[in-house]
Structure 1
Amino acid sequence: MADRGAKRPTVSVPDDWPAHPDLTLALNGMGGFDWDLDSGRLHLDPPALELFDVPPGTYDERPATLADHVPPTEAARLDALVARALKDGSDSYGAYFRVRHRDGALHWAHCQGSIRRDASGRPRRVIGVVRDAGEEYTQAAERLAVDEERRRHNSVVERTTAALAHARTVHDVIAVLADDQGLSRLGAENIILGLVEAGRIRLVSEGKAGSFIPDHEVTRVGDEFPMSEVVRTLAPRFIASRTEFATGYPRLWPAIEPLDIGSAAYLPLIAQGRTIGVIGLFYQRESAFRDQERNLLIALGSSISQSLARSMLYDQEHELAAGLQKAMLPRRIPGVPGAQIAVRYRSARLGRDIGGDWYDVIPLPDGRVGAVVGDVQGHDTQAAALMGQLRIVLRAYATEGHSPATVMARASAFLKELDTDRFATCVYVDADLSTGAARFVRAGHIDPLLRHAEGICRRLPVAGGLPLGLSAEFTRLDYPVTTVHLAPGDTLLLCTDGLVEEPGTDIDDGLRHLTAEVRHGPQDVQQLADRLCTLADRRPGEDDMAFLLLRRLGNPHHDIAGRVQRQIAPADPEGLSAARHMIRAAVRAWGARERAEEIELVADELITNALLHTEGPAVIRIEMPHGAERRLRLEVEDPSSNLPKRREPGEAGVSGRGLLLVDRLADVWGVEPRGSGKCVWCEFNCP
């Protein structure tokens, strides 16, 4: 490569004007050549010989003589270029190449040749010029270096801005900037970030481990620190060396001195005309921070400011929404005798981080318990407010003692009366933990799961109706009731779809995966709830979630799977109706649905006989063994010691058929005297 002040050939300036072309070429560092292709002779004029550093009188006009003055790789490339131009009919060619001078130095040169051909197109001569290209190559290299530096700086801003686009919280912003990738992207050794709060700067990112400076987590804006200075002046502060650190900030220097820091840049983070924070970037090297680098850092600070302002607003909204959500959910879950209960709520990681999911546990009359999980449409504060209203109303209707279908219908009508365009899904269960009878109603919600004490987990196919609000809108308020038996040790899971849904997957796949997790999960419901939350946190999702686990206590291997008992006073039609309902629910819950009508008919006959033919109350008791021999036993006890007798009624008789009916429908029956009366019993095989 030639020096910028390369020696030019000495030429005399003639008096004639205009100057001869040879003079023009010589004065501009160019030499000429004439290559006779027929003879192979290559003539070089003195300026050309000087460019190749060939002493005058030593050149024999043979191209091979120049081989020692051109590196082999350059010569091969140049020969191939010329040969191709001669063969493909080109009129000219041009190329950059390097020339090796006698001192071993390499210099850039450029040749331009014009190919002269005869009438047949055959190349006969090449006439051209060769010139020193060192200066222009140097300038081109400098331009390339500048362009490359500019591209690198632009890339830093673009890649950092792209990464910050996915940051939603202040924690996300810190993670983008301060992790290993962020530091590598910025070319920094360490980064700290402080937020301005009430005249103070609170450090929210302390940088790498071991770089935290004690007693500087919170500093005042008026202190003599770089971050404080940046907040006061609204201008960046560039510290070029360790010496500048020591002299400019003596209070800070004792903490900085042990760290591997050579220079630093403190940038104000300004959004909407006010400083919201300061970021400090630290480098191992000492740097004067040239104008281009300073402009880069200022642009970077602007991008970080916008992202940080957006994240701070997001965090504020989330805190407000989360507070509202927490206020709407029950403060505590009441203790329920005979059951273990665990509830969990997790906000979404996207959106407003709030939704209308809720859970509740409701003590009911006669020792029963209600459990509900629901989801109001939407992910905003309105959804949370509607959720709170709906939860309270549903609890009130259930506490009044209404049946599950009535509770659901009234809640739907209430939601419609609020004149909102939102609807809600819900699943509600009314469980008698003494018998295990559980009545379910479902309003557009996903089915619950039931894990049996034996370890089997399955999806409960609960009959459903329209979502709350929609059923009232379309006057379809009939909600079917599904009765299921909860044996001791069984665990019930009610959840919202946020626990099972994943973007791009079918909800049935999510339910199958959840079923497997519950089946293999711990028996303790609190531990199982924690496990389900951990699994949910690992997968992507844009929905919040709520779920409730209820485990019926008791020995799962006890002989009795279920037992119910009720006393009915004479002339008490409501008591008789309640007893019939109790029998119906228990029989269906215990899986004796095929013989339900027979059992109900026999029970009704025995109760009626006891109330008609004796004085005093009747006590009805029904139980089912837990083992393989499923034989349901029905007992009706009254205070009379008179034993009933089976008799055949006449053709015109209107009585006497009760025990005959019992004998025909029951597998076995009998009468037992008791100290205070008697007991009529019967048993039914229930495969």
Structure 2
Amino acid sequence: MTDYRAHGGEPGPPGPPAPDRSGSFDWDLGAGTVDMDEAGLRVFGLRAASFDGRPDTLVSRLEGPERTRLDRSVRDALAGEGSSYAVHFRVPLADGSVRWTHLQARILRDADGRALRLAGVVRDTTDEVGHSAFLVELEKRRRRQTGIVERTTRALARAVTTDDVTAALTGTDGLSRLGADGLAIGVVESGSLRLIALSGASVEAREGDRTHRLERSMPLADTVLSGRPLFSGSLSDLTARYPGLAAHTGRLPFRAAAYLPLVAQARTLGGLALFYRGRTAFTADERNLLLGLAAIVAQSLQRAILFDEERELATGLQATMLPRRIPAVPGGEIAVRYHSAWSGRQVGGDWYDVIPLPRDRVGIVVGDVQGHDTHAAAIMGQLRIALRAYAGEGHAPSTVLARASRFLAELDTERFATCTYAQLDLDSGTVRAVRAGHLEPLIRHTDGRVGMPKLRGGLPLGLASVFGQEEFPETRLDLVPGETLVLCTDGLVEQPGSDIGTGMAALAEAVSAGPPGAEALADHLSDRFREGWGAGDDVALLVLRRSPDPGTPRAPRIHQYVHQADPQGLSDARAAVRAALRDWGLPDSADDAELLTGELLGNVLLHTEGGAVLTLEVLPEPVRRVRLTVRDRSSAWPRRRTPGEAATSGRGLLLLDALALRWGVEPRGEGKAVWCEIGPAPGPSGTGRR
């Protein structure tokens, strides 16, 4: 084994060239003879006694291609107009070696420019060529070493976490950047050495043996303890020194290894082992290169370990501020997600909460405290608890936010917070929502369309109390069975350099394309936006879906909300009714049902202040009939009128009498429901409440 801890052996360049062996010659082109001195003949490997003065004899030792190249260069020089020429060629010698030879000659011409003689010198340049080749190879090696350092530094410059560091060294092109065939990295943890990265030739031997005691019986641990590198060009010698390697040597296809301590700021973090298949020695330059690479890796690893520790602290603090458990919600399903900003201790103030309320209602909130630090997280924890307490007392949503704003202002933190809070009654689908400077929610309808209802809002919490504007007007929404409400913070949709409206549009598209279930949709949105837009800011996401109500195969049912400001809503509802009846095998009722749908919805959209919920269902007993129900928020009941011939309205109830078997009006909480039934008559008479 060659241990370079104390010394090393880098081969140097060839020794200084021997004194030039050169001779002169005079070639008479007309006579075809060459007069060459003894020194020149020795360059060609000939003796003076055996040389007959012929040019062919002089180059008889040259190999065919080399001789052809030399002849061509002489002919080209003579045919040209130049007065000199030079050429390098190789001369094989009797002992099997090859001598590099340089010939330089002057061309003597007559008055017409015809070449008469060549006079010049030949030199043995073998040492010069060897020295030049060494310099070229040395330059290549130095460029290769510089490239290794540059590529490795560039890859590690982007590494933030420990996983990033190991991925840069073991991932695609990781080993090629280092010029090695195998790699192992170990870090010191609680008196042990834990392997955090294995790649290439080292994987098979060490897989499953990731943690062992920090003792001198193994070379990597010995290097970590001593703080000195170990370079070995013989695996057998290495095993003799460290018998513990014997269990692995049969599976390690390498011949040389470099064990390097990872030291940063006088602290040994661990060790780096590099393995090589074809190498048997390490030059001084190569050892210095590997020590420099180890220093780069150590610095990157130190930054990554510090970042991981800070992230663990920050995310742990954030986790204690968020709800430990989300309660089950009868009549619906809720999914929440939280993703921390990728910025060390810069934990944010984003939060979510689900609050059980009296009368089987539920409150949901998503908010964001200004700032990205532990102070913001602490304020968020206090504000979340206060808002939860105000909501649990049964206050209206507007009152809950007003009191939460006052609470935040009284903390005197000079921070504000935005949030959206909603109370839901999942039995009826009624949603009462308020907004304090926050993003508006999205609603995914049962047919996959996504709406962005306009919630009236107030100032952010805290600022509203400072400016004496603690008014948070409520907005009433209706969530029909199967529809989904999505709340989030701006970290999910904010894209640097782009308007937030672009992000909201992309979110709406992703909600529409996602799966229907709350958990699946939350995962879909997290995967879609977390890497691209959610990395620079915290993200809180809450997805609530009202349980679908498809009825049964014998008595199917659909629900659809028609917004008053949607000009296409009425047409879509009529088309949905016709398509559903066709799918249910009741096409004969489609015309009447579509006409009555238009009448009932039209009355609501024209004569009330809000939208309407349409329910289409099949009543299976005693015969299959179609039932239409339109629910609105108005307490005014329809009145029968007798329109004149020129009247353009007032015929709706007459049309109901004519087409429906029976119809009626029922009070529904804050509003009413108008219903009618279409189909075969159940008995001798078929009228209902009028």
Asked if these proteins are the same fold (TM beyond 0.5), I'd say yes
How many angstroms apart in 1 are the aligned matches of 2:385 and 2:602?
32
How many angstroms apart in 1 are the aligned matches of 2:602 and 2:259?
73
Cα deviation, residue 391, structure 1: 2.4
- The aligned amino acid for 1:552 is R
- The aligned amino acid for 1:71 is E
Match of 1:228 in 2: 221
How many angstroms apart in 1 are the aligned matches of 2:93 and 2:522?
82
Distance 1:274 1:591, change over 3 A: farther
- The aligned amino acid for 2:549 is N
> Does structure 2 conserve the Cα–Cα contact (< 8 Å) formed by 1:112 and 1:129?
yes
> Does structure 2 conserve the Cα–Cα contact (< 8 Å) formed by 1:178 and 1:190?
no
- The aligned amino acid for 2:145 is H
> Does structure 1 conserve the Cα–Cα contact (< 8 Å) formed by 2:107 and 2:119?
yes
Match of 1:450 in 2: 443
> Does structure 2 conserve the Cα–Cα contact (< 8 Å) formed by 1:74 and 1:98?
no
Match among 287, 290, 296 for residue 297 of structure 1: 290
Q: What aligned pairs does 1:423-438 form with structure 2 within 5 A after superposition?
A: 423-438=416-431
Unaligned runs of 5+ in 1: 9-26, 563-588, 600-622, 638-645, 647-663, 669-680
> Does structure 2 conserve the Cα–Cα contact (< 8 Å) formed by 1:42 and 1:62?
no
Match of 2:539 in 1: 545
How many angstroms apart in 2 are the aligned matches of 1:349 and 1:158?
26
Q: Does 1:30 align with 2:22?
A: yes
The secondary structure found in structure 2 opposite 1:487 is coil
Task: Normalising by structure 2, report the TM-score.
Answer: 0.70
Q: Does 1:483 align with 2:472?
A: no
Cα deviation, residue 358, structure 1: 1.5
The secondary structure found in structure 2 opposite 1:462 is coil
1:104-139 deviations in Å (ceiling 9; x for gaps):
965323345678999999999986544222111101
Q: Does 1:218 align with 2:211?
A: yes
Cα deviation, residue 307, structure 1: 0.7
How many angstroms apart in 2 are the aligned matches of 1:633 and 1:177?
64
- The aligned amino acid for 2:518 is V
Q: Does 1:71 align with 2:66?
A: yes
Match among 120, 130, 135 for residue 143 of structure 1: 135
Cα deviation, residue 79, structure 1: 5.8
1:338-394 deviations in Å (ceiling 9; x for gaps):
321111112244555743322111233444322121233444433333332332333
- The aligned amino acid for 1:545 is V
How many angstroms apart in 1 are the aligned matches of 2:233 and 2:277?
11
Distance 1:595 1:118, change over 3 A: farther
Match among 569, 590, 595 for residue 607 of structure 2: 595
Q: What aligned pairs does 1:646-665 form with structure 2 within 5 A after superposition?
A: none
Match of 2:663 in 1: none
> Does structure 2 conserve the Cα–Cα contact (< 8 Å) formed by 1:590 and 1:624?
no
1:69-91 deviations in Å (ceiling 9; x for gaps):
8826744884699589956xxx9
Cα deviation, residue 261, structure 1: 3.8
Match of 2:281 in 1: 288
1:446-501 deviations in Å (ceiling 9; x for gaps):
33221122332233333445544555666665545432211122110111233334
How many residues align? The count is 576
Distance 1:542 1:636, change over 3 A: closer
- The aligned amino acid for 1:630 is V
Cα deviation, residue 503, structure 1: 5.4
Identity %, equivalent residues:
44
259-268 or 59-68, which deviates more:
59-68
How many angstroms apart in 1 are the aligned matches of 2:392 and 2:368?
21
Match of 1:363 in 2: 356
475-484 or 312-321, which deviates more:
475-484
The secondary structure found in structure 2 opposite 1:31 is strand
Bigger Rg, structure 1 or 2: 1
How many angstroms apart in 2 are the aligned matches of 1:96 and 1:469?
88
Distance 1:502 1:256, change over 3 A: farther
456-465 or 143-152, which deviates more:
456-465
How many angstroms apart in 2 are the aligned matches of 1:118 and 1:444?
102
Match among 137, 153, 156 for residue 161 of structure 1: 153
Unaligned runs of 5+ in 2: 1-13, 552-556, 562-600, 617-627, 641-649, 655-670, 676-690
How many angstroms apart in 2 are the aligned matches of 1:406 and 1:104?
103
> Does structure 1 conserve the Cα–Cα contact (< 8 Å) formed by 2:335 and 2:544?
yes
> Does structure 1 conserve the Cα–Cα contact (< 8 Å) formed by 2:307 and 2:344?
no
Cα deviation, residue 320, structure 1: 0.2
How many angstroms apart in 1 are the aligned matches of 2:603 and 2:438?
24
Match of 1:183 in 2: 175
Distance 1:148 1:5, change over 3 A: closer
How many angstroms apart in 1 are the aligned matches of 2:559 and 2:251?
75
Q: Does 1:269 align with 2:277?
A: no
- The aligned amino acid for 2:292 is A
- The aligned amino acid for 1:218 is T
Q: Does 1:387 align with 2:380?
A: yes
Distance 1:118 1:420, change over 3 A: farther
- The aligned amino acid for 1:595 is H
Q: What aligned pairs does 1:484-563 form with structure 2 within 5 A after superposition?
A: 484-502=477-495, 507-536=500-529, 539=532, 541-553=535-547, 555=549
How many angstroms apart in 1 are the aligned matches of 2:80 and 2:471?
91
Cα deviation, residue 319, structure 1: 0.3
> Does structure 2 conserve the Cα–Cα contact (< 8 Å) formed by 1:59 and 1:65?
no
Cα deviation, residue 213, structure 1: 5.9
> Does structure 1 conserve the Cα–Cα contact (< 8 Å) formed by 2:481 and 2:559?
no
Match among 166, 169, 174 for residue 166 of structure 2: 174
How many angstroms apart in 2 are the aligned matches of 1:190 and 1:266?
12
How many angstroms apart in 2 are the aligned matches of 1:84 and 1:123?
8
- The aligned amino acid for 1:364 is L
Match among 102, 113, 126 for residue 134 of structure 1: 126
Q: What RMSD over aligned residues (CA atoms) do the two structures have, in Å?
A: 4.7
383-392 or 159-168, which deviates more:
383-392
> Does structure 1 conserve the Cα–Cα contact (< 8 Å) formed by 2:17 and 2:127?
no
Distance 1:63 1:372, change over 3 A: farther
Match of 1:319 in 2: 312
Cα deviation, residue 45, structure 1: 5.3
How many angstroms apart in 1 are the aligned matches of 2:145 and 2:66?
37
Cα deviation, residue 552, structure 1: 1.9
> Does structure 1 conserve the Cα–Cα contact (< 8 Å) formed by 2:310 and 2:345?
yes
Distance 1:220 1:365, change over 3 A: same
The secondary structure found in structure 2 opposite 1:71 is helix
Q: Does 1:630 align with 2:630?
A: yes
522-531 or 37-46, which deviates more:
37-46
How many angstroms apart in 1 are the aligned matches of 2:463 and 2:33?
100
Cα deviation, residue 257, structure 1: 3.5
Distance 1:115 1:498, change over 3 A: farther
- The aligned amino acid for 2:66 is P
Cα deviation, residue 253, structure 1: 1.8
> Does structure 2 conserve the Cα–Cα contact (< 8 Å) formed by 1:94 and 1:110?
yes
The secondary structure found in structure 2 opposite 1:138 is helix
The secondary structure found in structure 1 opposite 2:481 is coil
The secondary structure found in structure 1 opposite 2:243 is coil
The secondary structure found in structure 2 opposite 1:141 is helix
Match of 1:661 in 2: none
Match of 2:581 in 1: none
> Does structure 1 conserve the Cα–Cα contact (< 8 Å) formed by 2:205 and 2:248?
no
How many angstroms apart in 1 are the aligned matches of 2:409 and 2:110?
98
The secondary structure found in structure 2 opposite 1:210 is helix
The secondary structure found in structure 2 opposite 1:259 is coil
Task: Normalising by structure 1, report the TM-score.
Answer: 0.70
> Does structure 2 conserve the Cα–Cα contact (< 8 Å) formed by 1:245 and 1:253?
no
Distance 1:632 1:387, change over 3 A: closer
How many angstroms apart in 2 are the aligned matches of 1:182 and 1:7?
42
How many angstroms apart in 1 are the aligned matches of 2:502 and 2:523?
21
Cα deviation, residue 302, structure 1: 0.9
